[in-house]
Structure 1
Amino acid sequence: MAKTAKLYRMVMDTHVCPYGIKSKSLLESEGFEVEDHHLTTREQTDAFKAEHSVETTPQTFIDGERIGGYDALREKFGKSVKDPDATSYRPVLAVFAVAAALAVSLSIGLLDGLTIRTVEWFVAFSMAMLAMLKLQDVEQFSTMFVGYDLLGRRFVPYAYAYPYLEALAAVLMAGRLFPWLSIPIALFIGTVGAVSVFYAVYVQKREIKCACVGGGSNVPLGFVSLTENLAMIAMGIWMLLRAAL
């Protein structure tokens, strides 16, 4: 006998509930035949919520039992449910992974192999992507940034300027352009950042979120954040030595 489930979800001309779509897909992947009931008006949706004493849709019923929304459905099938307050290194690791892939691809395609240029591109691309994420909402970034950056705390305009400085240094370093400008920027923001992270995490032993991928992230301030700044310092020193040779 086929397993069946009843799903009630919002499907309107101006709004189709994404969690309703995901609930239907999840049920089907678990082998259920879905009785898909569309709530096509606000009045219909409000009446459904009042009837079943629920505050949200979609709602799934299996064998007459109300399971709940999408997260509840995932829990029923033994799947993980994301904690919105949980910290994760996934955003910054994703940046590093894509930057590395780009650097390797360009090196193989343009240079016929991996060279020191690959490492330069990796650091520059990582800096550029991290800066881009910060620039999406500079106000939110600066609010989180001043919570632990020693210079940003004392001179707030630096918190607003930081993403632009990081982006400028990254773009110039990627093309080895204007080293007289890119090197001091990288060394300065990298050093201040490294000292700030080390002080907050290893001296004060604070457990706070890092603004490295923007102000709305749940990346914990720690070793990865410190590594980002140390990489900027190393890049600046390398380019300084290279320019001196």
Structure 2
Amino acid sequence: MKKTATLYRMHTSEHICPFGLRSKDLLERQGFEVDDHKLASREDTDKFKKEHNVETTPQTFIDGKRIGGHDALREHFNMGPAVKTGTTYTPVLAIFAVAFLMAIATTVAYVESISLIKIIELFVAYSMTILSIQKLRDLYAFTNSFITYDLLAMRNLRYAYIYPFAEAFAGIGMLAMLSGFIVGPVSLFIGTVGAISVYKAVYIDKRELKCACVGGDSNVPLGFVSLTENIFMMAGGTWMLCKAFGLVN
């Protein structure tokens, strides 16, 4: 006997409820045949909510019993919340992973022989560039978070606004193979100040803060990953200066 469920969801010319689509997909993946009722206007939606004494749509009914919205449906199937709550390293780890794959792909495509050093150089440059984009999406939100722990930004708020542009300049400069005398000092400076600031805030002052490394609206905790980002910039800056002075090839 096939399982059936009835779904009421908002689907108008102006708005298609994403949670209605998610509820339909979830029911189908659970083996249900869905009797899909589209509420085609605001009036239809308001009428439905009034009749069933509910405040939101979508609403799912199974065997004549109202289960509720998308979150309630997931709970009914013993599934956790769809949206992650609390702190997470996922955003910055995703950036590092993609940057690393981009570095490998670029090396394979454009460098005659596979070079681990070249992959690392590109990885640092791509990581810095992508991270700067995350900050530049919303400078106000980024600076609001950044000034709570960066030692220089606390003293001079303008530095918080300069920082993501400096990070982008250093990353793009590495990709463009600009002189290490130009790129190296910028990367080394912002990385060193950042590393000292993170170390003090987390390991000396024992403060629990969110990192602004992927933007001011993230739930990435300030700590090891944030320190790693700054160490990458310090290492990249030092390497660029060493190349400029002819100490390495």
Query: How far apart, CA to CA, are the structure 2 residues paired with 1:105 and 1:147?
Result: 37
Segment of structure 1 superposing worse, 41-50 or 73-82: 73-82
Matched, 1:206 2:207: yes
Segments of structure 1 that go 5 or more residues without pairing to the other structure are none
Secondary structure of the 1:80 match is coil
* Equivalence for 2:220: 219
Q: Which residue of 2 aligns with 1:100?
A: 100
Match of 1:196 in 2: 197
Correspondence list, 1:144-159, <5 A: 144-159=145-160
- Residue 51 of structure 1 and its aligned partner are, at CA, apart by 2.3
Q: Is the Cα–Cα contact under 8 Å of residues 8 and 37 in structure 2 kept in the other structure? A: yes
* Structure 2 residue matching 1:23: 3-state secondary structure: helix
Residues 3-12 or 71-80, more deviating: 71-80
Provide the residue aligned with 1:51 in structure 2. Answer: 51
Residue 113 of structure 1: aligned partner: 114
The residue aligned with 1:177 is: 178
Mapped partners of 1:43, 1:78: distance in 2: 33
Deviations 1:108-142 (A, max 9, x none): 12223133111000000000000011111111111
The separation in 2 between residues aligned to 1:87 and 1:55, in whole angstroms, is: 30
**In structure 2, the residue corresponding to 1:5 is in which secondary structure?**
strand
State the one-letter code of the partner of 1:90: T
Instruction: After superposition, give the CA deviation of every residue in 1:180-227 in whole Å (9 maximum; x if it has no partner).
Output: 221111111101110111111111111111110011111111100000
CA–CA distance in structure 1, aligned partners of residues 53 and 196 of structure 2: 53
Q: Which consecutive residues of structure 2, in runs of 5 or more, have no partner in the other structure?
A: none
1:89 equivalent in structure 2:
89
TM normalised by structure 2 equals 0.95
> Matched residues in 2 for 1:51 and 1:149: separation?
54
Cα RMSD of the aligned pairs, angstroms, is 1.2
Q: Distance in 1 between matches of 2:114 and 2:72?
A: 49
Q: CA deviation at 1:80?
A: 2.3
For normalisation by structure 1, the TM-score amounts to 0.96
Kept in 1, the 8 Å contact 2:4–2:35? The answer is yes
Name the count of aligned residue pairs: 245
Q: Distance in 2 between matches of 1:179 and 1:53?
A: 67
**Counterpart in 1 of 2:73?**
73
Per-residue CA distance 1:157-180 (angstroms, 9 max, x = gap):
111111111001100011220322
Q: Structure 1 53/208 Cα, relative in aligned 2: closer, same or farther at 3 Å?
A: farther
